[in-house]
Amino acid sequence: MSTLNPLLLQTLAASGGNANSSIQEMLLSQLGDQDPTVSLLAKYLTQNQANDEEEEEEEEDDDASIQSTQEAEATYSQELEAAQVRNQKLVNIARQLWQELEDLDSELEDLRDRNDALAQALGACHLCWGEDLACEVCHGQGYPGSFPADPDMYRQYVTPAVQRLQRSRGVRGAGGANARFNHG
Ligand SMILES: [Zn+2]
């Protein structure tokens, strides 16, 4: 170390490692040719500087990575929240549709029961009332009166209507059909 140029040491000390690298390199390369120790020092300093730069780049990379991760998390959080809102809307729609479906099913069941009761009361095909030639029950022949009517159903559904009609018209002879079924 005794051969190190004091000027070089002063320059290096003043630079604090952050001096213009071209000055360092110039001085070191000149002195390094003369002294192996200086040459090693030059290599060490150059390597050290390179490492510092790499560490700074890594820190910048880390900062960028953290920022990028935070942005990704924020975006993910927003998308998740939006997806949850959409999901809740779909759940509400599905519940509403399911309720409407249950209501329709219940109403359809009531209407079928009433249809079947009236078809029995009038002796008609409960599927098509004689209006469908392809009907598997009556082949289009199941109009009212084509089957034996159910007397109880007839009294429940038809008799009151016939009586009301007779009263309103003052007609007595209209009970032909009524008499046929109302013999109970
Ligand atoms: Zn039919």
CA–centroid distance, 134 to ligand 1, in Å, is 8
CA–centroid distance, 123 to ligand 1, in Å, is 11
> Is this prediction's pTM over 0.75?
no
CA–centroid distance, 130 to ligand 1, in Å, is 5
CA–centroid distance, 155 to ligand 1, in Å, is 23
Could you please report the per-residue DSSP string of 4-30? S-HHHHHHHHHHTT-S-HHHHHHHHHH
Burial track 57-89 (b if 16+ CB lie within 10 A, e otherwise): eeeeeeeeeeeeeeeeeeeeeeeeeeeeeeeee
CA–centroid distance, 180 to ligand 1, in Å, is 23
Residue with tokens 């013999």: 183
CA–centroid distance, 133 to ligand 1, in Å, is 8
CA–centroid distance, 124 to ligand 1, in Å, is 8
CA–centroid distance, 118 to ligand 1, in Å, is 14
CA–centroid distance, 117 to ligand 1, in Å, is 15
Would you write out the chain's pLDDT as a tens digit for each of its 184 residues? 444 455 544 544 554 545 455 555 655 565 556 566 656 656 766 676 677 777 777 777 888 888 899 999 999 999 999 999 999 999 999 999 999 999 999 999 999 999 999 999 999 999 999 999 999 999 999 999 999 999 999 999 999 999 999 999 875 554 444 444 444 3
CA–centroid distance, 140 to ligand 1, in Å, is 5
